[in-house]
């Protein structure tokens, strides 16, 4: 570019600068107005509307109910309950069928095969008790609930329900000093926090976007649903008669999800009152028309795009985790395994917050994928207690029935408090490594990535600590 050109450009810029003042401060409004006026003119010429009013506007009627002050929230909870109840009760049968096939049929076959060809014990153990079983467990536990949950959720989304959820919660978010659109990114977080963090791009203001990114962790993600569902059905469902168990477990899971929403508000409010002070920006949320969901297409895409993709991710992380766990449980120094040392080291702190060393180790192992928390816990519990319920030291397994799993947990010194605190900690603790990486990419700031990763862990410790103290206090009085 020549110097002459540069001066022309600077001339133009200064002309623009000067003229801008002549137009006045409402420059933006004038421009927008001009565009809008022309748009209306062109649209009017091309459109013919019916003279008479439509007799019955289905969409509007439905919106009046779904977003009403009275019915909006109860209906939202009812829908959530139905989705979870269908997921919990529908996943049991296929889950145990898969477990039968993968764990009780194929696994012994592999072991026999290894014995027949004279495979050394460590290779056999490493491959079939470590790697294979970890994978098989993740598939049998995760595939059925996901294959039910995702299509149901996607049908609601396709129908147009999600923006109504956002509409219902908009006011609460604004009161918390955050952006109403955060309701949408939070809803995405219920599927996957990394996706939720990316979805915050729809929020204009950097301040409010940062709040939405940091607090997205409290939207219970799909990797954590199985943990909640399993623990709720074993410990909470067991408190009531069998007919009610399914319903009560679903209630417990919804309760945890709602606590997550509550924590989202609370932490958003805290951030917007402290480090991220600022004005709340307004926006108009468009309620799109309801559309009849395309059932087959939805089922197809949600199984291919969501279920299998997420399952694949879980398997990828379960394979090395299974291998490492088997090794750390079988490599011993002075009679104690590597895993044993770590567990013993963390145990005092774990017990202080109503958990135990095994659970804390499991959460560390599961940083890449929350899905493998429960398999890890079970394997490590066998290792520590020496319980005979499993297939040997260092094996990730699915026990045949809930009763056996329960017996295993009890052998590990679990109480109802352990179960409740595990559910709480699973909700609150740090995001998975994929989400942390996404947060770093979206914020471009190491500082905020640290905050978003560490603050939840500290909050998780604080909450479980307080719950444990109160619980023990009440228990000692009773």
Partner 1 sequence: MTKNTKTSSDACESCAIHNAAALHKLGVDMSDFDYVIALSGNPNTGKSTVFNALTGLRQHTGNWPGKTVSRAEGGFEYGDHKYKLVDLPGTYSLLATSLDEEVARDFILFGQPDVTIVVVDATRLERNLNLVLQVLEITNRVVVALNLMDEANRHGIQVDERRLARDLGIPVVPMVARQGEGVPELLQAISDVANRKTVGKPYRVKYDSPELKKAVIEVTKQIESAYPELPNAQWVAMRLLDGDERIAEALRKGELGDLTHGNIEHRSAQMQVIGNQ
Rule CB under 8 A: which residues touch partner 1?
1, 5-6, 8-9, 11-13, 15-17, 19-20, 22-24, 27-28, 30-40, 42-50, 54, 154, 157-160, 162-163, 166, 181, 184, 198-199, 201-204, 285-286, 288-291, 294, 300-302, 304-306
The owner of tokens 């399952």 is: 311
Q: Smallest gap, in angstroms, from Cβ of residue 88 to partner 1?
A: 25
- Exposed (0-12), middle (13-18) or buried (19+): which is 319, by Cβ within 10 Å? middle
Q: Which residues contact 1 (CB under 8 A, 6 or more apart)?
A: none
Helix (H, G, I), strand (E, B) or coil at 333: strand
Nearer to partner 1, 16 or 478 (CB): 16
Say how far apart CA 243 and CA 247 lie, in whole Å.
Answer: 8
Nearer to partner 1, 11 or 112 (CB): 11
Q: Smallest gap, in angstroms, from Cβ of residue 312 to partner 1?
A: 16
**How many CB atoms are closer than 10 A to CB 273?**
11
DSSP readout, 129-177? IIIIHHHHHHHHHHHHHHHHHHHHHHHHHHHT-HHHHHHHHHHHHHHTT
Nearer to partner 1, 163 or 260 (CB): 163
Say how far apart CA 465 and CA 467 lie, in whole Å.
Answer: 5
Nearer to partner 1, 289 or 334 (CB): 289
Task: For residue 337, list its beta bridge partners.
Answer: 332
Q: Which residues contact 187 (CB under 8 A, 6 or more apart)?
A: 162, 165, 166, 196, 219
CA distances (Å), origin 184, targets 168, 169, 202, 250, 441: 11, 9, 9, 23, 20
Alpha helices in 190-235 (DSSP H): 193-199, 206-215, 225-231
* Cα atoms in the 13 Å half-sphere on the side-chain side of 345: 8
Q: Smallest gap, in angstroms, from Cβ of residue 295 to partner 1?
A: 13
Nearest alpha carbon to residue 97 among 44, 164, 144, 161: 144
- Exposed (0-12), middle (13-18) or buried (19+): which is 85, by Cβ within 10 Å? middle
Q: Which residues contact 145 (CB under 8 A, 6 or more apart)?
A: 87, 88, 91, 95, 225, 226, 229
Q: Which residues contact 40 (CB under 8 A, 6 or more apart)?
A: none
Q: Are 141 and 332 in contact (CB under 8 A)?
A: no
Nearer to partner 1, 34 or 336 (CB): 34
Nearer to partner 1, 288 or 320 (CB): 288
Q: Smallest gap, in angstroms, from Cβ of residue 190 to partner 1?
A: 13
Nearer to partner 1, 300 or 312 (CB): 300
């Amino acid at each position: 570019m020549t110097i002459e050109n540069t001066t022309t450009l600077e001339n133009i810029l200064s002309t623009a600068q000067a003229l801008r003042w002549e137009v006045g401060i409402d420059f933006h409004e004038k421009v927008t107005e001009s565009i809008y006026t022309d748009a209306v003119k062109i649209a009017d010429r091309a459109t013919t509307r019916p003279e008479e009013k439509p007799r019955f506007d289905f969409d509007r009627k439905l919106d009046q109910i779904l977003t009403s002050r009275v019915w909006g929230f109860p209906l939202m909870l009812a829908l959530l309950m139905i989705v979870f109840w269908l997921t919990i009760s529908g996943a049991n049968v296929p889950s145990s069928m898969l477990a039968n096939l993968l764990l009780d049929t194929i696994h012994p076959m592999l072991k026999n095969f290894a014995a027949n060809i004279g495979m050394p014990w460590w290779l056999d153990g490493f491959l079939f008790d470590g790697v294979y079983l970890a994978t098989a467990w993740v598939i049998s536990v995760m595939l059925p609930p996901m294959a039910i949950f995702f299509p149901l959720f996607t049908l609601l989304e396709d129908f147009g329900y999600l923006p109504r959820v956002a509409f219902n919660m908009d006011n609460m978010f604004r009161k918390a000093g955050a952006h109403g659109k955060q309701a949408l990114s939070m809803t995405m977080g219920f599927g996957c926090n990394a996706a939720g963090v990316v979805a915050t791009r729809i929020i204009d203001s950097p301040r409010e976007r940062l709040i939405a990114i940091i607090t997205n962790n409290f939207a219970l993600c799909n990797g954590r649903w199985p943990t909640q569902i399993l623990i709720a059905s074993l410990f909470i469902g067991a408190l009531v008669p069998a007919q009610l168990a399914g319903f009560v477990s679903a209630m417990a899971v919804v309760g945890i999800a709602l606590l997550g929403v509550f924590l989202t508000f609370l932490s958003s409010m805290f951030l917007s009152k402290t480090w991220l002070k600022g004005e709340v920006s307004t926006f108009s949320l468009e309620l799109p028309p309801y559309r009849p969901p395309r059932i087959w297409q939805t089922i197809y895409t949600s199984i291919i795009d969501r279920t299998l993709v997420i399952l694949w991710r879980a398997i990828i992380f379960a394979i090395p985790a299974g291998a490492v766990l088997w090794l750390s449980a079988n490599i011993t120094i002075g009679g104690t395994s590597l895993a044993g040392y770590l567990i013993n080291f963390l145990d005092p702190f774990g017990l202080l917050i109503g958990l135990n060393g095994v659970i804390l180790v499991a959460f560390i192992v599961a940083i890449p994928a929350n899905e493998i928390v429960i398999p890890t816990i079970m394997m490590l519990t066998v290792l520590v207690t020496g319980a005979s319920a499993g297939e040997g030291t260092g094996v990730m397994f699915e026990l045949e029935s809930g009763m056996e799993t329960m017996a295993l947990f009890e052998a590990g010194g679990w109480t109802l408090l352990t179960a409740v605190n595990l559910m709480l900690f699973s909700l609150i603790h740090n995001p998975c490594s994929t989400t942390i990486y996404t947060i770093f990419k979206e914020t471009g700031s190491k500082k905020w990535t640290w905050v978003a990763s560490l603050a939840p862990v500290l909050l998780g410790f604080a909450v479980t600590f307080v719950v444990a103290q109160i619980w023990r206090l009440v228990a000692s009085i009773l």
